[in-house]
Amino acid sequence: MLAGLFLISSCKKSKNDEQTSSANCRTTTTLFHLVRDNALNMSDVDIKSENFGYDQQGRLVTYNQNNLTAGMESYVVSYTYGSGEIIETYKNSVTNAAVITYTYKLDGQNRIVSRTEQPLRSDEARYTYKYDAQGYMIENYQYSRNGSSISERRLTYTYTNGNLTAINRAFSDGGPVYDNYKTDLTYTDVPQKDNFILNQGYPVLYEQYHPLRKFFGTGSKNMIASVKEFLGYGYANYAYTYEQDANQNVAGMRLVSDSNNGQTYTLKFGMNCN
């Protein structure tokens, strides 16, 4: 199996607390495997591998997404850190052609407060983020315009005991809100460490598990156990289980979902510890 290509390293225990341990262990590889069951009770498979590279300050500088499924594009992503901003550039890994570039602006506490993109996929697009006094993201506002057509999406976040437990999504077309969806989350006892990166498997949680997640404010303290997402026509349910290494780093994850006639995700995480 492809999973054999990735080794999950154990990290040597230090005398310091687990926060120090996690700071010395970085996610370097992931292997993502999705099996979907369609209405004919047949399956298709989506397989991706990812590689992450860091500079001497421990900042993410490269991210390669390798689609191992025929017909799917692969990308090379680079991160450049400037004064008050981070630039994220996607290129096609085969042609090296630029696909899209995101510019993130930071506040005085090194948190991302806005995002823009080039080239624009609409006439105008902007993303802004707000945080509370404890550093938790409490609002994610997205605006786009094509001609006279306006689309707005506002996500607000609720936290309980240090974990994100509810997301409200309000949609409008420049006027009154016409849809208001809610997502509820529960948590395991597994600690969520700063070195955890996940691009696949968490619905409506893009910023919270983005490769730049450290710049999106304070994260939840535990790993998610379940997500119940209202989709407008019904609910989608997601259940999560995890494997841990000797230092409680997440070494594997399994997700079972009832959306799209059933989906199962499995992921393996490779760690480099020093």
Give CA angle at 242 (193, 22), nearest 5°. Answer: 20
Lowest mean pLDDT among 11-20, 43-52, 110-119, 208-217: 11-20
Do residues 168 and 184 make contact, with C-beta atoms less than 8 angstroms apart? Answer: no
Residue 192 DSSP one-character state: P
Q: What is the pLDDT of residue 44?
A: 57
Amino acid letter, residue 76:
V
Q: What is the pLDDT of residue 16?
A: 38
Write down the architecture of domain 2-273 according to CATH. Beta Barrel (2.40)
Q: Where are the alpha helices (DSSP H) in the chain?
A: 18-23
What digits encode the pLDDT tens for the residues 83-101?
999 999 999 988 888 889 9
C-alpha–C-alpha distance, residues 96 and 117, integer Å: 18
Q: Please, what is the end-to-end C-alpha distance for the chain in angstroms?
A: 28
Beta strand 112-118 with 124-131: parallel, antiparallel or unpaired?
Answer: antiparallel
Cis peptide before 211 (omega within 30 of 0): no
Give CA angle at 246 (242, 247), nearest 5°. Answer: 85
pLDDT mean over 251-264 = 81
| pLDDT tier, 21 (very low <50, low <70, confident <90, very high otherwise) | very low
The residue among 209 and 77 whose pLDDT is bigger is 77
Do residues 127 and 109 make contact, with C-beta atoms less than 8 angstroms apart? Answer: no
Q: Output the average pLDDT for the chain.
A: 82
Do residues 2 and 264 make contact, with C-beta atoms less than 8 angstroms apart? Answer: no
Q: What is the pLDDT of residue 8?
A: 30
Domain ranges of the chain: 2-273
**Entry pTM:** 0.82
Whether 106 has a pLDDT exceeding 60, the answer reads yes
